[in-house]
Amino acid sequence: MKNLVLYFSVYGTAKIVAEEIAKQTGAELVEIEPAVPYDSNRDHYNALAAYAKKEHDEDQRPAIKNDIDISGYDNIFIGYPMWWYTFPMIIYTLFDKYDFAGKTIIPFNTHMGSGDGGTYKTIRELEPNAKVLEGLPVEMKAAENGPEKAVSRWLKNTGF
């Protein structure tokens, strides 16, 4: 079974979790790169929040820069931060653009209190022909402090 970790991250915390999952499973790691980069300077949080809210309210589909090949993978971990109580709109782009039918999706996300915000259910709705396993929400600070234990416990519980 081939495993892939796909992730989108602006402040680097979903990336930390993604790297840990890849390390523990031996999965390939691929970043979802936006065609128009987001401002990763945390001092500019308010500007990013406003920008992301506009994308959300206008139901935008921000373009993905890189070509992602999911064809050879059975299990695909998909990670993202919570933005405005759901996933970033670029994750909708991902699900519009790629067909995950027949794949197993294992979601994970970082957040500051919203948990998964119902996004794992949204993925089940968007990809009805994929099998979506129980995901892992990681609080931002916990990700920065090292998610090794949370990731290994979760992987064990989900059968990896």
Ligand X SMILES: Cc1cc2nc3c(=O)[nH]c(=O)nc-3n(C[C@H](O)[C@H](O)[C@H](O)COP(=O)(O)O)c2cc1C
Backbone angles phi, psi at 137, to 5 degrees: -85, 135
Size of the site for ligand X (CB under 6 A): 21
Q: Which listed residue (47, 49, 54, 66) binds ligand X by CB under 6 A?
A: 49
Q: Which listed residue (31, 84, 126, 158) binds ligand X by CB under 6 A?
A: 84
Q: Does 92 bind ligand X (CB under 6 A)?
A: no
Exposed, middle or buried, 28 (CB in 10 Å: 0-12/13-18/19+)?
Answer: middle
User: Which DSSP string do the residues of 12-37 spell out, in sequence order?
Assistant: SHHHHHHHHHHHHHT-EEEE--BSS-
In terms of CB distance, is 4 or 89 closer to ligand X? 89
Q: Does 83 bind ligand X (CB under 6 A)?
A: yes
In terms of CB distance, is 81 or 147 closer to ligand X? 81
d(CA 160, CA 153) in angstroms, rounded, equals 10
Q: Does 37 bind ligand X (CB under 6 A)?
A: no
Q: Does 113 bind ligand X (CB under 6 A)?
A: yes
> Is 55:89 a contact under the CB 8 Å cutoff?
yes
Site pattern 52..81 for ligand X (x: CB under 6 A)? x----------------------------x
d(CA 153, CA 1) in angstroms, rounded, equals 20
Q: Does 9 bind ligand X (CB under 6 A)?
A: yes
Q: Does 13 bind ligand X (CB under 6 A)?
A: yes
DSSP state of 83: B
Report the alpha-carbon angle 67-71-73, nearest 5. Answer: 110
Q: What residue ranges bind ligand X (CB under 6 A)?
A: 9-15, 48-49, 52, 81-85, 110-114, 140
